[in-house]
Amino acid sequence: MSQKLATRGEPSLFGPPARAHNGGMERPSLQLSVTSLLGLVACVALNIWLFRLGPLLGILGLNISKHVVIAYVCKVVGVDKKHRRIRAEPALAARTRLPLS
């Protein structure tokens, strides 16, 4: 009985709620590629080097790196995407006839 409920997408009494059939195969929303991992390592290395030159340069580099990382995360998550809004058709009002007396 609980398997039938889980396959319909309804919560089951035993176990986690059912997911879509291909839910496990979808790409996670935040995933580091090799290029992004290389960029992250470059930001860390640049910050270490700038902190060796002086605390002011290190703080400045850390602030710039923070903004770069936040911009990347916003891009991956899709903050600036155009959202498709589905407009609901307005319900037709019930037509009532008034007496003409």
Q: Residue 23's domain spans which residues?
A: 1-30
Give the pLDDT confidence score for residue 63 in this predicted structure: 96
Contact between residue 33 and residue 48 where contact means Cβ atoms under 8 Å apart: no
Number of domains the chain contains: 2
Same domain, 16 and 42: no
**pLDDT tens-place string over residues 63-83:** 999 999 899 888 888 887 776
**pLDDT tens-place string over residues 19-34:** 566 666 666 666 778 8
> Position 79: which residue type?
V
What values do phi and psi take at 3, rounded to 5? -70, -35
Cα–Cα distance, 17 to 5 (Å, whole number): 10
Q: Is residue 90 part of a domain?
A: no
Report the share of the chain in percent with pLDDT over 90.
30
Give the pLDDT confidence score for residue 5 in this predicted structure: 46
Same domain, 2 and 40: no
